[in-house]
Amino acid sequence: MPSHCVVDIDTAPFKGSIKLNTGLFIDGQWVDPVDSKEMIDVINPSTGKTISQVSLGSSKDVNIAVKAAKMAYKTSWGLKCPGATRGRLLTRLADLIERDIDEFAALEALNAGKPFHIAKAQDMAGVIQWIRYFGGWADKIQGNTIETSEQKLAYTRHEPYGVVGQIIPWNFPMLMLAWKVGPALATGNCIVFKPSEMTPLSALKFADLVNEAGFPPGVVNLVNGYGTTVGQAISEHMDIAKVAFTGSTLVGRKILEASARTNLKVVTLELGGKSPTIIFDDCNLEQTVKWASLAMYSNMGQACVAGSRIFVQEGIYPQFMEKFTAIVRDLGRATGDPFSSTTRHGPQVSKVQFDRIMGYIESGKESGATVHLGGARHGTEGFFIQPTIFTDCTPDMKIVKEEIFGPVAAILKFKTEEEVIEAANATVYGLSSCIFSENISRALRVAHAIESGSAFVNSAQTVESSVPFGGFKQSGIGREHGEYALATYTQVKGVHVNLGMMI
C-alpha cells in the first residue's frame, strides 16, 4: 500500500491534523515507486527538523505516468471532453481548495516557511482565483474563419498538445502549480508534474482534490523526485509534447537542451530575475517606500520578480534611506514563527538556500559595499536571515549583478533618466521592473524603455490572472496568465475546405 503521513500542527491559528498520501499520484491512484524504497526528507525551515518523508520517483515512474496521461487524453479528456465540462471541473476544484484553504495555508507555512496569514490571504487566494479564471476560459478556446475565396472555406482550430510536463518550483508551491495546471487543463491537455522535492506537501493534498473534483483518471499525474532524475525524465520524454518550467536560468538551459536532443518539445520557461526598482525624486515617498519594501522582501526575497536593485535619484536619497530603513527594520522585528499572527518575515526555504544567501552577503562585504542594515542570521534555529540593505554598491559587484533569491537589497544612486535606464537594462535578466514617479509621462516612458516582461508603475508585484507574465532576455520564454497563456498550451491547425469544382 502507498505510504501516508499525518501532519500534526498545534499552533494557532491552525490547530489540527492533516492526513497526506506521500506516494506518487498516477492514473487517479496513489502508488509506490516501481523500483525504489528510498524516501525524501521534507524539512521544516523554521526548525531545520524533518516533517515527514515522501516517496522518491524515477524515470520509470515518469514513463508510467505518461502512459496514463496519453490514455486519458485519447479516451476521456482532450478533444473528447467538451470545454464546458472541463470548466465545471476546474471550478469545482477551486471550490474544494477554498473549502480546505486553512489546511493548504498551514502546509505552506510548515513546509515553505511562509507566514500563515500571508499564505492564506495572498498565495491560496491567488490559487483559487487562477483556477477559477481558467475554468472560465475552458469553453472559449476557439479559432477563426479566414476569408480566401468563394471556392474555399478556411478556418483554424486551437488544439491541445496532448501530454504536457510541468516542473514546479519551491518558492510558491501552490501558486506556481495553479499558474500551470489552470491553462493546461482548460485547453484540454493532460499533465505529468513534479513538485519541488523541498516543498511537496501542498501538492500532495492538491492531488487528492483532483479526484474529489471528478477529473478522469490520468488527466493529472504527480511524480515526486529530484530534478536530475524525474525532472530530466520529463524534459527528455518522447511522448511529452510540451514542458513548462519555473526556476533557475541554469536549469532552464538544460531543459531547452533536452528538448533539442529529443523530440523538439515546446518549452516555456519562467526563469530568474534581477529586477530594477527605479525611484524618481518626484515620487510619492510615503507610498514608494512601502511598495519598494514589498517588491524586495516579499516571500523573504525568494521571488523571481524581487526588486533587488533599487535605484534612487540622488535628490531624495537621504529621505528615502531614512524611511526605507525604518520599514525594513520593522520587518526584521516581525521575523519569526510562520504561525504567529505578527510574523511578516519567515525563514529561507532550506539550508542550501540559507548558505547561498549568506555567501552573497559575505561577497558584498568583501567587494566594498556597506551593510546598512541586517546582514546576519536571525536567531539560532532554522534558516532565518535578517532583511538586509547594502549601500555604496557599484554595478560590477556580484550582489548587484547576480540573482540572490533572498532578502538582500542593493541600493544605487542615479542622476538622470537616461542614466538609470541604461543601468537598469545592464543585466542578462528581464523579468520585471518597478517605476515610481508622479510624472506619469516619465513613468510610462521609462516603463516602455526598460527591457522586462512586466513593468509596475507606482506599485509592485501586483500580478493579475488576466495579464500576461514572463521574461525578456534570459528571464524566460513564453507567457503565463490570461489569454496569452492559452496560446502556450495549444497548437494551431489550419483547415482548408474546397467548396468549388476541381480545376
Angle at 366 between CA 363 and CA 369, to 5 degrees: 90
Burial of 151 (0-12, 13-18, 19+ CB in 10 A): exposed
* DSSP-assigned letter for residue 215: P
Q: Which of 108, 270, 403, 480 is catalytic?
A: 270
Under a CB-based contact definition with an 8 Å cutoff, are residues 360 and 408 in contact?
A: yes
- List beta partners, residue 190: 163
* Cα(488)–Cα(453) distance, integer angstroms: 16
The three state secondary structure string of 362-389 is HHHHHCCCEEEECCCECCCCCCCECCEE
* Nine-digit cell string for 477: 520564454
Whole-angstrom distance between the N-terminal and C-terminal Cα of the chain?
A: 66
- List beta partners, residue 152: 149, 498
| Sheet with 24-26, edge to edge strand ranges | 29-31, 24-26, 220-222, 190-194, 163-167, 242-246, 266-270, 476-477
Q: Which residue has 536571515 as its cell numbers?
A: 385
Q: Is 381 a catalytic residue?
A: no
Rg, C-alpha atoms of the chain: 24
Give the SS3 label for residue 181. helix
If phi > 0 it is left, if psi is from -120 to 50 it is alpha, else beta; for residue 382 that is left
* Cα(191)–Cα(72) distance, integer angstroms: 10
Under a CB-based contact definition with an 8 Å cutoff, are residues 382 and 273 in contact?
A: no
Burial of 499 (0-12, 13-18, 19+ CB in 10 A): exposed
* Cα(303)–Cα(73) distance, integer angstroms: 34
* CB atoms near residue 239 (< 10 Å): 15
Catalytic residues, by residue number, are 270
